Amino acid sequence: MPTNTHILLSVLYISIFFNSLKALSSEPNTLALSCGNKDGGTDDDSRKWESDSKYLVSSDKSVEVVAQTQDPSLTSSIPYMNARIFTSETTYKFTVNESSRYFLRLHFYPSSYPNFNTTNSYFSVVADKVTLLNNFSASIAAQALTQAYIMKEFSLAPLNTDSLSVRFKPSDKYNGTFAFVNGIELIPSPNLFDSASMVGFDDQPLDVTSANVQTMWRLNVGGQYIPSTNDSSGLARSWYDDSPYIFGAASGVTSEAANNVTIQYRNFSASIAPVDVYRTSRQMGLDGNVTRNFNLTWIFQVDANFTYLVRLHFCEYELNKINERVFDIFINNQTAMKNADVIAWSSKKDVPFYKDYAIYVPDGPGDEMLWLALWPDNSMRPHYLDAILNGLEIFKLSDANSNLAGPNPTISDMMQKQLVENTNKTFSTDEAKKIYTTALIGGAAGGAVAFAFVAAMFIGYKRKQMLSGGDTHTSSWLPIYSSSQASVSKSTISGKSPGSTHISSDAASNCRFFSLAEIKQATKNFDESYVIGVGGFGKVYKGVIDGNTKVAIKRSNPSSEQGVNEFETEIEMLSKLRHRHLVSLIGFCEENNEMVLVYDYMGHGTLREHLYKNNKITLSWKQRLEICIGAARGLHYLHTGAKYTIIHRDVKTTNILLDESWVAKVSDFGLSKTGPNMNQGHVSTVVKGSFGYLDPEYFRRQQLTEKSDVYSFGVVLFEVVCARPALNPSLPKEQVSLADWALRCQRKGTLEDLIDPHLKGKINPECLKKFAECAEKCLADHGTDRPSMGDVLWNLESALQLEENPDGSAKPTSSGSGSVDYDQPREIDQKNILAMHRNTLSLGSEHDIKDLDDETDDIFSQIVNPKGR
Ligand SMILES: *[C@@H]1O[C@H](CO)[C@@H](O)[C@H](O)[C@H]1NC(C)=O
Ligand SMILES: *[C@@H]1O[C@H](CO)[C@@H](O)[C@H](O)[C@H]1NC(C)=O
Ligand SMILES: *[C@@H]1O[C@H](CO)[C@@H](O)[C@H](O)[C@H]1NC(C)=O
Ligand SMILES: *[C@@H]1O[C@H](CO)[C@@H](O)[C@H](O)[C@H]1NC(C)=O
Ligand SMILES: *[C@@H]1O[C@H](CO)[C@@H](O)[C@H](O)[C@H]1NC(C)=O
Ligand SMILES: *[C@@H]1O[C@H](CO)[C@@H](O)[C@H](O)[C@H]1NC(C)=O
Ligand SMILES: *[C@@H]1O[C@H](CO)[C@@H](O)[C@H](O)[C@H]1NC(C)=O
Ligand SMILES: *[C@@H]1O[C@H](CO)[C@@H](O)[C@H](O)[C@H]1NC(C)=O
Ligand SMILES: *[C@@H]1O[C@H](CO)[C@@H](O)[C@H](O)[C@H]1NC(C)=O
Ligand SMILES: *[C@@H]1O[C@H](CO)[C@@H](O)[C@H](O)[C@H]1NC(C)=O
Ligand SMILES: *[C@@H]1O[C@H](CO)[C@@H](O)[C@H](O)[C@H]1NC(C)=O
């Protein structure tokens, strides 16, 4: 039954794609040759294959044959059923564009042909000067992969000549051996390679522009098989499911972009990978207590003595801010990247990005494996402890002798045993799965023993690394604006210290250095009509940089002596802090006595102006709650998230800004202090801050703790619900200070009278009660009696829940069509996750099985017994 459905589906499938296929075959210069087939033909995907004979330099040393049996798993009889057999060395010649890269695909069907038994076939293939295969046995490779046919894909660098020769040569180590091939594809491709960073050599770039490579794996991570007909730019690549390569039981969760998400290529063209790759991803899961305890790991069996290019494809289609999902990337247990943040790279939601890493795999005892692991990095206190990957490609780079060939795969004992048993009884599905998995992991079938020695290039990097010495372990901060692949122009990125300032090189390297000319251009020479605010520090202008990025530009008042310190404090602080609820500093300019800070543009301005200033749109109660929660998150991060506790010292409604989507961001760190040490508990300092928000205890004792921020935030909470300024001198004396007046009303139970008329009757009483109690506690006289910012956050979140679900029944949030709603409390269905993990349980190799079971149980027990929530 299932088989019938399959066939039906395939037929449907094929007819659906008929059109795109036609487009494919009409690509100029694209060659598809059905070898040993005089007439050529059309395959089941409607792709045209022509005869190979006119490309042969001499055809007298080859024989055209037809296979005696067609394996049921063959997708199409073209090009597999016909073969050209070479009994001695024979060459194909193709006319090519001398400056274009080419995909060369070789198809082999190691069946039996009249008078030729392919188990006896060992041969080499050389393209121009590059050895692609050596002592290659298609028969052994197919057996190891449990596949009927083998396809090998290579990407050849531009040749600088207009003719490409591909030479087939039977091995001279065996008697009566021969070479054969069933299909050849030659497809011009854009230049897909640029440079990769060498893992373990701190960002030493390896130039791969002119590398000849073999594709080892191409996976649509977290998604399904993408047939060659659905690839982008007519490159006819197939993308496979990644689940067989996942190590252990911890396979995370898969996710798919919502239907209304449009993937936008900005950093490169769609030829890198089709949209379907970026629309699906694998992530670690929802529970931080589980995700932090395992690595999401893929393993691949590779040939030793080669450098591999590991290309990771990313696209963040759920989150849109930096520092929400931050993770480390390990390759072969070495750190390839710390604090990877997809949004920071791509600069935008729905925009694909890829990263290339190169790693050399030396020879060692046993099979060589390539491990890729992702692990959530908590050092930046990201919003979620999670990681994401959308696609993965692994390429083998040719070595110093222009060789790409590796040894034939060995068929493991376990597999041999299973294969023998197979001849006697049918597989149980479990066994089949084991074999399938082992075969896939060992998928690097190919050529002969490589005699090549360690690539000279690799030693070169080692030496370079030693010479550069020193600062290799400086903190690797979020590479937002220093990433060489960010979309900003390279020339303006500051790696150097900008001269006269006292800004640490660390801070300077984390943000961008603008020239005064750039700033003037962005603000039309500080045009007054661009002013969006004026503060003690100076004026704030709106501006546009890099063509269309809106920014806020804060220009210091040159006469203010105070300005210099605050300017520097702000750069030092903000350059180290990245959080969804903190305003991001993009960069700064210090030139000709001008001190200018450049920030993210906050489309909706300050919180204050939406409460009572002007007559702007009135915020709903829920919006106000959400804004308070956001601001509380930002402050909580300042207090606990960074290396040191940071006290803001000037929390007020004009320092809480709102972006285009009404996300609250805490701003203005000019007065911030890094404080208190464990033993001291407070920072002695000159009293600063804004009246109306000032912590009385701080005022009395001149000692600053993070509870001073909590006090100010309490004032903000009352301001939000009452919609009146913290200080209003025009009111009767007892009402001038909002903090005093609101506290008095709250204690008398008359707060109702104070609340914003726009909100009257629109707040759930339970929610208001919770909210007011929280604000009241923040205003406690003694800091020690005030809640921590974390408690405030918790209380506000429960207030929001009371508003949303008045009856107290927290409804589980459904994750819809696979996309996770991150702004709701995450509910997980333990049973489902468990089932999912068991389902995709895959095995590495025979001796991994035991260890794996232990690890599996560990992870399961964490999932089953998460310690509270
Ligand atoms: C050859 O390839 C280069 C780079 O891909 C391209 O710019 C050029 O137009 C091609 N020339 C021909 C004759 O197709
Ligand atoms: C091909 O050769 C192998 C080993 O030489 C042998 O076991 C096998 O039976 C042969 N197959 C055919 C179809 O002759
Ligand atoms: C090939 O055959 C010749 C004679 O038939 C024999 O002398 C030689 O040893 C064989 N070589 C190999 C590698 O089997
Ligand atoms: C291939 O592309 C077609 C048309 O774009 C789409 O309908 C189909 O679902 C795709 N198939 C796969 C397996 O992605
Ligand atoms: C896409 O759809 C989701 C719900 O399916 C919705 O929440 C979201 O706002 C939509 N996004 C856009 C850009 O329309
Ligand atoms: C990486 O670590 C794992 C587990 O510790 C180990 O089994 C594996 O052999 C290591 N891989 C490499 C390439 O060192
Ligand atoms: C993840 O892998 C890295 C590199 O192999 C290792 O250092 C780290 O301890 C692993 N983390 C966990 C939670 O296993
Ligand atoms: C060729 O491959 C076979 C099968 O893997 C292997 O046994 C043999 O040693 C190889 N020969 C050479 C010369 O590398
Ligand atoms: C398979 O069957 C054959 C004969 O039926 C028997 O001799 C052989 O031992 C069996 N092999 C296994 C692995 O059971
Ligand atoms: C890798 O290189 C070493 C040193 O040249 C050599 O001894 C070893 O056989 C090579 N391994 C493979 C799999 O080619
Ligand atoms: C994670 O573990 C910590 C400490 O065991 C616990 O306080 C917290 O509630 C847990 N969080 C979740 C979401 O389970």
* pLDDT per residue as tens digits for the range 8-50: 333 333 333 333 343 343 345 789 999 999 988 998 888 899 9
C-alpha 811 – ligand 10 centre gap (Å): 60
What pLDDT score was predicted for residue 431? 42
C-alpha 636 – ligand 11 centre gap (Å): 17
Residue 535's pLDDT band, with cuts at 50, 70 and 90, is low
Residue 193 · residue 208 · CB < 8 Å: yes
What pLDDT score was predicted for residue 360? 93
C-alpha 16 – ligand 4 centre gap (Å): 8
Separation in Å, CA 805 to CA 52, 625, 868? 70, 14, 22
The listed range with the strongest mean pLDDT (303-317, 537-551, 614-628, 815-829) is 303-317
Half-sphere exposure of 31 (CA within 13 A, CB side): 25
Residue 243 · residue 804 · CB < 8 Å: no
C-alpha 448 – ligand 8 centre gap (Å): 6
**Domains, the chain, ordered by start:** 31-189+409-455 (2.60.120), 195-203+217-395 (2.60.120), 505-600 (3.30.200.20), 609-842 (1.10.510.10)
Cβ of 260 below 6 Å from ligand 5: yes
Cβ of 175 below 6 Å from ligand 3: yes
Cβ of 100 below 6 Å from ligand 1: yes
Ligand 8, CB cutoff 6 Å, lining residues = 122, 135, 137, 140, 173, 408, 448-449
C-alpha 279 – ligand 11 centre gap (Å): 31
Helices (H), 120-243: 138-145
For residue 28, which atom of ligand 1 is closest to its CA?
A: 14
Statement: residue 492 has pLDDT above 80: no
Tell me how far the alpha carbon of residue 633 is from its chain's centroid. 24
Pick from 738, 770, 766: which is nearest to 754 by CA? 738
Residue 504's pLDDT band, with cuts at 50, 70 and 90, is low
Ligand 7, CB cutoff 6 Å, lining residues = 293-295, 330, 333, 373, 375
Mean of per-residue pLDDT scores for the chain = 75
For residue 449, which atom of ligand 8 is closest to its CA?
A: 14
Q: Is the peptide bond before 79 cis (omega within 30 degrees of 0)?
A: yes
| Burial (CB count within 10 angstroms: exposed 0-12, middle 13-18, buried 19+), residue 569 | middle
Residue 313, strand partner residues: 354, 391
* pLDDT per residue as tens digits for the range 740-774: 899 999 999 888 888 888 888 889 999 999 999 99
**pLDDT mean over 399-410:** 91
Separation in Å, CA 799 to CA 389, 446, 621, 779, 818? 35, 62, 11, 18, 28
**pLDDT mean over 227-244:** 89
Q: How many angstroms separate the first and last alpha carbons of the chain?
A: 46
The listed range with the strongest mean pLDDT (137-151, 284-298, 341-355) is 341-355
Question: What Rg, from alpha-carbon coordinates, does the chain have?
Answer: 32
Full-prediction pTM beyond 0.75? Answer: no
Summarize the annotated binding site for ATP as residue ranges. Answer: 554
What pLDDT score was predicted for residue 608? 87
Catalytic machinery residues? 650
The set of residues, in sequence order, having a beta carbon less than 8 Å from that of 629 and lying 6+ positions away, is: 664, 793, 796, 797, 800
Q: Which ligand is nearest to the CA of 143?
A: 8
For residue 287, which atom of ligand 11 is closest to its CA?
A: 13
Segment among 154-168, 239-253, 660-674, 708-722 with least mean pLDDT: 660-674
**pLDDT mean over 480-489:** 24
What pLDDT score was predicted for residue 488? 25
* pLDDT per residue as tens digits for the range 584-607: 888 888 887 788 888 888 888 889
Cβ of 230 below 6 Å from ligand 4: yes
Residue 370 · residue 359 · CB < 8 Å: yes
As given in the structure block, the two tokens for residue 779 are: 């205003």
Residue 93, strand partner residues: 165
Q: Helix, strand, coil proportions of the chain in percent (round to 5)?
A: 30, 25, 45
Cβ of 379 below 6 Å from ligand 1: no
Closest C-alpha residue for ligand 10 atom 7: 363
Please, what sign has the CA dihedral across residues 426, 837, 330, 354?
positive
Order across the sheet with 253-256: list the strands.
253-256, 280-283, 388-389
For residue 332, which atom of ligand 6 is closest to its CA?
A: 13
Instruction: Using DSSP bridges, classify how beta strands 585-591 and 594-600 pair: parallel, antiparallel or unpaired.
Output: antiparallel
Find where tokens 């890099």 sit: 546
What pLDDT score was predicted for residue 200? 83
**pLDDT mean over 442-462:** 25
SS (H, E, C) 103-126: EEEEEECCCEECCEEHHHCCEEEE
Q: Which ligand is nearest to the CA of 302?
A: 10
What pLDDT score was predicted for residue 176? 87
Residue 689's pLDDT band, with cuts at 50, 70 and 90, is low
Residue 545 · residue 522 · CB < 8 Å: yes
Closest C-alpha residue for ligand 4 atom 1: 230
Cβ of 869 below 6 Å from ligand 11: yes
Residue 354 · residue 369 · CB < 8 Å: no
**pLDDT mean over 404-428:** 60
E strands, 157-212, are 163-170, 179-181, 183-189, 195-198, 205-207
Cβ of 97 below 6 Å from ligand 1: yes
Q: Which ligand is nearest to the CA of 411?
A: 8
* pLDDT per residue as tens digits for the range 840-854: 222 222 222 233 333
C-alpha 424 – ligand 9 centre gap (Å): 6
Summarize the annotated binding site as residue ranges. Answer: 554
Cβ of 99 below 6 Å from ligand 1: yes
